[in-house]
Amino acid sequence: MNQQQHHQDKATLLERLIFNNRPVVILICLLVSVFLFWQATQIRPSTSFEKMIPLEHPFIEKMLEHRNDLANLGNTVRISVEATDGDIFSKDYMETLRQIHDEVFYIPGVDRSGLKSLWSPSVRWTEVTEEGFAGGEVIPNTYDGSADSLDQLRNNVLKSGQVGRLVGNNFKSSIIDVPLLESYPDPQDQSKLIKLDYQQFSHQLEEKIRDKFQAQNPHVKVHIVGFAKKVGDLIDGLVMVAMFFGIALVITWILLYWFTWCIRSTIAVLITTLVAVVWQLGLMHAVGFGLDPYSMLVPFLIFAIGISHGVQKINGIALQSSEAENALTAARRTFRQLFLPGMIAILADAVGFITLLIIDIGVIRELAIGASIGVAVIVFTNLILLPVAISYVGISKKAIERSKKDATREHPFWRLLSNFASAKVAPVSIVLALLAFGGGLWYSQNLKIGDLDQGAPELRPDSRYNKDNSFIINNYSTSSDVLVVMVKTPTEGCSIYSTMAPIDELMWKMENTPGVQSAISLVTVSKQMIKGMNEGNLKWESLSRNPDVLNSSISRADGLYNADCSLAPVLVFLNDHKAETLDRAVKAVQEFADTHNKEGLEFLLAAGNAGIEAATNEVIKSAELTILILVYICVAVMCMITFRSFAATLCIVLPLVLTSVLGNALMAFMGIGVKVATLPVVALGVGIGVDYGIYIYSRLESFLRAGLPLQEAYYQTLKSTGKAVLFTGLCLAIGVCTWIFSAIKFQADMGLMLTFMLLWNMFGALWLLPALARFLIKPEKMAGKAGGSIFAH
């Protein structure tokens, strides 16, 4: 039995199995839909700090290894309470600050032992007097809000060293540092642990802190920043995403009806595609995933891919209906003709998603798994259920008449586009494509890894979070971007001169690195104490070589060394977390560590939010090219298996390569960095874009085998499949471009990138594929041959 016969039998066996048991197919799909719909209704927004970071990166491994020694340097929220009228030294302000401190203390998920504000007993002041050192709590037990006690408070704050850290440089605001627990004991049952719900926590901060106290005291304004707050705001954006899904649904419905002129088939395509989305969400919940800010875009993509395949099916059935005696025959013939190209295109989509699994970041892996599940589901809903449904409901006479007319009449638009395959136009197209490729490669050198803006680039620059963030940057010396270098020594070794002198050198080096605001460590406190012991003489603000002096000098450096003095963090405060700022800071530390690491003394990177960001950037930088190469290798292999022709594979893959290069250039032009949010677009753009090329080439090849010259074969391809490809590209792009108006900036960025890539992939398939075919494929060698592609029937 030859290869072609074998494939045809395989197809007809599957066809018989499905179409001879149509009621069973529909019943199974109905039962599965009911079960998965019930599962989908239970899916909840969920994310965690650890899912957003690359857990296997050396920086993160070191941070987690020493997590218990790094008090308050992991997942924290900072609440800045601003006095809008006057300064913080007023009875009303201090009372409001105390109430906020107490309210925050009781919010579930707060690490109460590390909570820090002016009202914390651990915040102390120190001064040198004739008798020696004096000190105490910044807010003493005798504080009563009177003018005298407020004057005393002002003096204590000035002596505490907290100006620029807990207290604003202009004395108009102060900060409450709120460290968080990823899991905390259930108040009802202490033996159970509850995972921190970021959305709920963010809402409690808004309701119990911001709204409540701003209403209670109109002279204060509350600003809140931190990872948990940012993620909470992103999850709130989910509601907006649901709205965009509704808009995309309406637009698609209108365009589908305009394309088919048949209400029955329009509803059939929409329902089967929505079934795919429900199945995908249900299966996500069944395997234990929730919806995080990144994977919430997956249902959109599944809807888009489902519509794409649904349109091809409806188009095929409409074309077949003009010759077939009934809807069942037309559905069967279309199934036979399009099941394999559809299957190959879906496998190519899945491959694009699966390659994302190589990135060691939880949210990207979940996105990859969720999208792969969704694509697998489309095989059942749009390749099997849709033709079976249409075999019952059929296509309206109006649509069939239109299809008959289309099949016989001349199409000036398609005739014009068929010139892309002509001997005169094809060389021009190739030259233009090469110029675009060269220009795109040159410009995409400006593409950066990581964030390119201050604050939270996932949110709009004018969002409340980013306004809060810029307030804190402008009013405090310590920004919210902290890179923590962990200095590891033998037990009790952090306070000896041979450890502290290199720490002092590192701080000097870091403070002279562009992009660094300031640096603090136990050396900072030690120098101040030694100066204090010597009547405050500035000449003594240096490290002593006397071990006893050093030991006593660090006694007040709370939180700047661990319990057994074997780890001393150096806190480097950065201006922002832009990619180049992080690169410079990390490089400076690594250069220093290379020359100063020795037995018993190690400078380890990195903790703090800037350390996490730097690790994430490194993971993305190393994975970006690997993913792109992997996606292309997989797509090329799929095309080789399908068409058994190197020339055909080049015709399909080269337009995709051009799109990727131009996509990178667009990101560089728009100032969008390659990061957790935008990296998946690279794989998605190629995976979804290959569908167009596969559908067009499979039809073009069948006409070439029938003996038609290339330009005529391409004209016939455009009349049958080109219409569906053009429609699909426009339909998907219109659906995705609604994201551009999202309040969540990274979703708007993804929307812009996907819209561009979907349109360019469609345009590449219609414009560049026939031009490449003119040079790579010899029609005269194909004419009359039955072998070749697995689509040859």
CATH number of the domain residue 780 falls in? 1.20.1640.10
Give the residue from 614, 633, 655 where a domain finishes.
Answer: 614
Looking at residue 780, its pLDDT comes to 62
Across 444-473, average pLDDT: 84
Cα–Cα distance measured from residue 159 to residue 127, given in angstroms and rounded to the nearest whole number? 7
Q: Is residue 48 part of a domain?
A: no
Calpha distance 579→560 (Å, rounded): 27
- Residue 513 and residue 684: Cα distance in Å, rounded? 39
d(CA 712, CA 466): 57
Residue 790, pLDDT > 70, answer: no
What's the token pair of residue 605? Answer: 């990177």
CA dihedral 30, 32, 38, 39 (to 10 degrees): -160
* Residues 422, 405 share a domain: no
How confident is the model over 348-375, as pLDDT tens digits?
A: 788 778 888 888 888 888 888 988 899 8
In a domain, 334, yes or no: yes
Section 506-516 average pLDDT: 93
- Helix axes 327-354 and 362-380, enclosed angle (nearest 10): 170
Q: Please tell me the pTM assigned to this model.
A: 0.80
For the chain, what percent of residues have pLDDT higher than 70?
95
Judgement on whether residues 781 and 658 belong to the same structural domain of the protein:
yes
155 & 184 share domain = yes
User: Based on the domain organization, do 268 and 221 belong to the same domain?
Assistant: no
Per DSSP, the three-state class of 743 is coil
Is 772 contained in some domain?
A: yes
Spatial separation of the C-alpha atoms in residues 724 and 741, rounded to whole Å:
27
Residue of 738, 749, 631 lying closest to 690 (CA atoms):
631
Q: Say if 29 falls within a structural domain.
A: yes
Q: H/E element holding 651?
A: helix 646-670
**In this predicted structure, what is the pLDDT of residue 432?**
95
Q: Which residue has the tokens 């913080």?
A: 88
Coil, strand or helix: which one is 128? strand
CB within 8 A of 21, min separation 6: which ones? Answer: none
Spatial contact of 367 and 294, defined as CB atoms under 8 Å apart: yes
> Which of the four pLDDT bands, split at 50, 70 and 90, describes residue 722?
confident
Alpha carbon 371 to chain centroid distance?
A: 14
Out of 357, 387, 409, pick the residue that ends a domain: 409
Confidence category of residue 550, pLDDT binned at 50, 70, 90: confident
Which amino acid, 653?
V
Q: What is the mean pLDDT of residues 30-55?
A: 86
| End residue of a domain, out of 599, 614, 629 | 614
d(Cα 574, Cα 511) in Å, to the nearest integer?
10
Same domain, yes or no, for 299 and 327? yes
Calpha distance 439→437 (Å, rounded): 6
Which residues have CB under 8 Å from 433's CB, separation 6+?
A: 654, 658, 768, 771
- Cα 437 to Cα 444, 659, 662, 724, distances in angstroms: 10, 9, 7, 27
What mean pLDDT is predicted for residues 443-466? Answer: 83
Least confident interval from 69-78, 369-378, 644-653: 69-78
513 and 393 housed in the same domain: no
Where residue 688 falls among pLDDT bands split at 50, 70, 90? confident
Asked if pLDDT for residue 784 goes beyond 80, the answer is no
Tell me the average pLDDT of the chain.
Answer: 85
**Rounded to 5 degrees, what are φ and ψ at 194?**
-110, 135
636 domain-assigned: no
Answer yes or no: is 310 within a domain.
yes
Task: Name the residue range of residue 786's domain.
Answer: 411-445+644-792
Whether residue 45 contacts residue 290, with contact meaning beta carbons closer than 8 Å, is answered with yes
Residue 239 maps to a domain? no
In 76-226, alpha helices (H)? 91-105, 147-160, 198-204, 212-216
Are 742 and 657 members of one domain?
Answer: yes
Residue 620 near residue 682 (C-beta atoms within 8 A): no
Q: What is the pLDDT of residue 11?
A: 47
pLDDT at residue 7 greater than cutoff 90: no
pLDDT band at residue 269 using 50, 70 and 90 as cut-offs: very high
Three-state helix/strand/coil letters over 5-71: HHHHHHHHHHHHHHHCCHHHHHHHHHHHHHHHHHHHCCCCECCCCHHHCCCCCHHHHHHHHCHHHCC
Quick one: 79 and 228 in the same domain?
yes
b/e map of 455-464 (b: 16 or more CB within 10 Å)? bbbbbeeebe
Contacts of 558 (CB under 8 A, 6+ apart): 122
Q: Which two tokens stand for residue 749?
A: 């960025």
Is residue 417 located within the same domain as residue 372? Answer: no
**Shared-domain flag, residues 81 and 143:** yes
- Asked if residue 619 is part of any domain, the answer here is no
DSSP assignment of 541-598 equals -S--S-HHHHHHHTTT-TTSS-TTS-EEEEEEEES---HHHHHHHHHHHHHHHHHH-B
| Radius of gyration over every alpha carbon of the chain, rounded to an integer in angstroms | 32
How is the beta sheet containing 482-488 ordered, strand by strand? Answer: 516-520, 567-574, 482-488, 602-607
pLDDT in tens, 424-447: 999 999 999 999 999 999 999 888
Q: Which of 114, 112, 109 is nearest to 185 (CA)?
A: 109
> Is there a single domain that holds both residue 574 and residue 687?
no
Residues 453-481, mean pLDDT to the nearest whole number: 83
Backbone angles phi, psi at 440, to 5 degrees: -60, -45
Alpha helices by DSSP H, 144-189: 147-160
Domain count, the chain: 4
Question: Would you report the helix, strand and coil content of the chain in percent, each value rounded to 5?
Answer: 65, 10, 25
How does pLDDT run across 587-612, given as a tens digit for each residue?
999 999 999 888 888 999 888 888 98
Same domain as 692, residue 656: yes
Q: Return the number of other C-beta atoms located less than 10 Å from residue 13's C-beta.
A: 10
